[in-house]
Amino acid sequence: MDSYSYQPEQFVKSYQTFRENLHSSPPPSAPPTSKRYDNGKPKMIVAAVQLETIPSSGADEDAQEFFERAYRAVEDAVESHGATLVLLQELFLGPYFCQSQDASLFALAEDNIGIIEEDAEKRRQNIIISSMQALAKRLGIVLPISIFERKNNAFYNSVIMIDADGSNLGTYRKSHIPDGTGYQEKFYFSPGDTGFKVFSTAVGKIGVGICWDQWFPEAARSMALMGADILLYPTAIGSEPQDPTLDSSDHWHRVMQGHAAANMIPVVASNRFGTEILLDKSCNVQQQIKFYGRSFITDETGAIVKEAKDGSDIISSTVNVERNRATRASWGLFRDRRPELYTVLKTKDGSLAMP
């Protein structure tokens, strides 16, 4: 397994060059790929893309490589797996930069992730999102995009949901923000203000959480109550720098399988793979994380039906949305809920408020 070393300010320069190049030279187009249909409607064929961190070449094109390998993987998911829904990993446009607190990395944030009307004649749009919208439209796929978002003076860890016709359906902002050695996200991201969201797409209703969100059953249940047919979790999880012997990957799988089983909804996680080495300003090793990979797809009972092999991999599975809806209804889990008894969930310490 190759490792990838990065120095924050150097990668920021690479990313800025990549952004400029994308404006001047958008990704090449190709003939449209026909969608897979069932009675005139596209099936839900979900693919999880797992990408191994690229080897460090010391080149100024690192950020360009991150984008291009993700772009090619999406095309491969459609061409080789027949996917109509493709999930990329969390913050796929670069290394997991939250290993440290470095103010230079705020330059990686993207603004204008929707369309902003400047005047009646001109509209401005984020070049990365518009490139992915064009890709989704050409391939006829639903494509959630994980991105570091800037909104004025606020910064979020966000997912933009792109539908199969290329339209931007809106944004979900990560609700639960971790803070620990190697995962110092509270320095970069504010807690999301969108609430949990379910997007109505060409292939079904899609709920999406982001990494740390996946440890909270309340998030999965909320999206299930909102009618989700599938739950997606772009992810960056690996070793703990303070204790490299700690391996939480089995625990991570089990908690997610529980979300699927308790809600009778398939769950998909796309994680990164490989060792990412943070360098200090003198390019000496400061810290490193070995990301697990082990991306997976469950069925509606929580059983893992596909798991990625080590390295870069794409896994896929077909979800029978209508059958799952009928099975979920007949099982009675949502019929027999007692929301009036769950008010304790609105407290931090389990104490019920006085009437």
Nearest CA among 290, 307, 309 for reference residue 2: 290
pLDDT of residue 25: 77
303 domain residue, yes or no:
yes
pLDDT of residue 122: 47
Q: What is the DSSP string of 145-172?
A: EEEEEEETTEEEEEEEEE-TTS-EEEEE
Please give the Cα distance from 349 to 355 (Å, whole number): 17
Q: What domain range includes position 225?
A: 3-346
Catalytic site residue from 35, 75, 98, 174: 174
> Number of structural domains, the chain?
1
Catalytic site residue from 43, 211, 290, 306: 211
Answering whether pTM is above 0.75, one says yes
**If you average pLDDT over residues 224-234, what whole number do you get?**
98
φ, ψ dihedrals at 314, nearest 5°: -130, 130
Task: Provide the mean pLDDT of the chain.
Answer: 91
The verdict on whether 98 is a catalytic residue reads no
355 domain residue, yes or no:
no
CATH code (residue 55):
3.60.110.10
Specify whether the CB–CB gap between 73 and 50 falls below 8 A.
no
pLDDT of residue 121: 44
179 domain residue, yes or no:
yes
Residue 68 has pLDDT above 90, yes or no: yes
351 domain residue, yes or no:
no
Specify whether the CB–CB gap between 234 and 49 falls below 8 A.
no
Nearest CA among 231, 214, 235, 206 for reference residue 90: 235
- Indicate if the alpha-carbon torsion angle 181, 185, 186, 191 is positive or negative: negative
In this prediction, residue 120 has a pLDDT band, given cuts at 50, 70 and 90, of very low
In this prediction, residue 36 has a pLDDT band, given cuts at 50, 70 and 90, of low
Written as six digits, the tokens of 35 are 């969608």
Please give the Cα distance from 304 to 253 (Å, whole number): 9
232 domain residue, yes or no:
yes
352 domain residue, yes or no:
no
Place of tokens 């006085």: 354
pLDDT of residue 18: 87
**If you average pLDDT over residues 280-286, what whole number do you get?**
90
34 domain residue, yes or no:
yes
pLDDT of residue 112: 84
Nearest CA among 301, 295, 200 for reference residue 258: 301
In this prediction, residue 298 has a pLDDT band, given cuts at 50, 70 and 90, of very high
pLDDT of residue 255: 97
Can you tell me whether residue 191 is helix, strand or coil? coil
Q: Tell me the residue type at 47.
A: A
Q: Which residue has the higher pLDDT, 115 or 134?
A: 134
157 domain residue, yes or no:
yes
**If you average pLDDT over residues 212-216, what whole number do you get?**
96
Please give the Cα distance from 159 to 284 (Å, whole number): 33
Direct distance between the N- and C-terminal alpha carbons of the chain, in angstroms, rounded to an integer: 59
Question: In what side-by-side order are the strands of the sheet with 285-292?
Answer: 3-6, 273-279, 285-292
φ, ψ dihedrals at 264, nearest 5°: 55, 50
In this prediction, residue 125 has a pLDDT band, given cuts at 50, 70 and 90, of confident
In this prediction, residue 216 has a pLDDT band, given cuts at 50, 70 and 90, of very high
pLDDT of residue 54: 81
**If you average pLDDT over residues 275-297, what whole number do you get?**
93
pLDDT of residue 113: 79
Catalytic site residue from 90, 110, 185, 300: 90
The verdict on whether 43 is a catalytic residue reads no
The verdict on whether 174 is a catalytic residue reads yes
Q: How much of the chain, in percent, has pLDDT values that exceed 70?
A: 90
